Amino acid sequence: MSRVRWSVVVPEATDKALRNYLAGNGMKKGDISHFIDEAVQLHLFDLVTGKVKMHNKQFNQDVILAAIEEAVFH
């Protein structure tokens, strides 16, 4: 997997809080990249699923759940 380098600016308090959290959980300085990657992926997932949920509000939820159940279990 190829990687790209980001240059980000965050408040000093955010930096200290993250470094304290990582250090308190036995993680190292290099784990900041992993933490940010995971956080961005989770936030993007939340944004996308939020849009899907808003779009699907117009539909009968019982019909949607029945279609999901049919697709998954049959």
| Domain layout of the chain by residue ranges | 12-73
pLDDT, averaged across the chain? 93
Residue 27 has pLDDT above 90, yes or no: no
By the 8 A CB rule, do 22 and 31 touch? yes
49: its two tokens: 């699923």
The contacts of residue 31 (CB under 8 Å, 6+ apart) are 22
Higher pLDDT, 1 or 22: 22
- For the cut 80, the answer to whether the pLDDT of residue 42 exceeds it is yes
One-letter amino acid at 10 equals V
